Amino acid sequence: MGRGRLRLVTAALLLLSVRAAPPCDQTCPAGTYLDPRTCGRTNEPCKLCPTGTFASEAGARGGCISCRICEGIFTYRRSCSAIEDAQCKCKSGYRCTRGDCRECAQNCGRGEQLIGTGCETCPWGTFNNQSDGFCKKWTKCSGDEVLKQGTSTSDVICSHMSGSLAPPASTTYPAIPFSTPGPGKNLEMDIVLTVGLVLAIVFLLPLGVFLIFWKKRKLPDMLKRIYITPEQSTQEEDACSCRFPEEEQGEYDDCSKLAQFKDSPMN
Nearest to 113 by CA among 133, 99, 141: 133
Looking at per-residue pLDDT, the higher value among 32 and 24 belongs to: 32
pLDDT exceeds 90 at position 182: no
Pairing of strands 126-127, 136-137: antiparallel
**Are residues 76 and 32 part of one domain?**
yes
Over residues 201-228, the mean pLDDT reads 71
Quick check: is 181 in a domain? no
pLDDT exceeds 70 at position 13: no
Quick check: is 71 in a domain? yes
pLDDT exceeds 70 at position 137: yes
Asked which of 159, 178, 202 is the last residue of a domain, the reply is 159
> 3-state secondary structure string, 140-209?
CCCCCEEEECCCCCCCCEEECCCCCCCCCCCCCCCCCCCCCCCHHHHHHHHHHHHHHHHHHHHHHHHHHH
Predicted local confidence at residue 223, as pLDDT = 55
What's the CATH number where 143 sits? 2.10.50.10
Quick check: is 207 in a domain? yes
Q: How many domains, the chain?
A: 4
**Are residues 201 and 150 part of one domain?**
no
**Are residues 263 and 241 part of one domain?**
yes
Predicted local confidence at residue 141, as pLDDT = 86
Do residues 46 and 26 lie in contact, with contact meaning Cβ atoms separated by under 8 Å?
yes
Q: What is the mean pLDDT of the chain?
A: 73
**Are residues 206 and 241 part of one domain?**
no
Across 80-84, 100-104, 219-223, which has the greatest mean pLDDT? 80-84
Quick check: is 151 in a domain? yes
Lowest mean pLDDT among 106-110, 174-178, 200-204, 231-235: 174-178
Quick check: is 97 in a domain? no
Looking at per-residue pLDDT, the higher value among 134 and 162 belongs to: 134
Percent of the chain past pLDDT 70, that is, above it, reads: 60
**Are residues 131 and 84 part of one domain?**
no
Amino acid at 213: F
Using pLDDT thresholds of 50, 70 and 90, give the confidence band for residue 99: confident
**Are residues 31 and 83 part of one domain?**
yes
Quick check: is 174 in a domain? no
Predicted local confidence at residue 21, as pLDDT = 45
Quick check: is 21 in a domain? no
pLDDT exceeds 80 at position 23: no
Distance CA 7, CA 149 (A): 100
**Are residues 80 and 32 part of one domain?**
yes
Phi, psi of 33 (to 5 degrees): -140, 160
Distance CA 131, CA 124 (A): 18
pLDDT in tens, 61-96: 778 999 999 999 999 999 999 999 999 999 988 888
**Are residues 201 and 233 part of one domain?**
no
**Are residues 150 and 122 part of one domain?**
yes
Looking at per-residue pLDDT, the higher value among 5 and 164 belongs to: 5
**Are residues 124 and 153 part of one domain?**
yes
Quick check: is 263 in a domain? yes
**Are residues 244 and 207 part of one domain?**
no
Over residues 200-211, the mean pLDDT reads 82
Q: Which domain does 146 fall in, by range?
A: 107-159
Q: What is the DSSP string of the chain?
A: -HHHHHHHHHHHHHHHHHHHSPP----PPTTEEE-TTTTTTSS--EEEPPTTEE--SS--BS-PEEPP---TTEEEEE---SSS--EEEEPTTEEESSTT---EEEPP-TTEEEETTEEEEPPTTEE--STT---EEPPP-SSSEEEE---SSS--EEEPTT-PPPPPPPP-PPPPP-----HHHHHHHHHHHHHHHHHHHHHHHHHHHHHHHHHHHTHHHHHHHHH--HHHHHHHHHHHHT--TTS-HHHHHHHHHHHHHHHSPP-
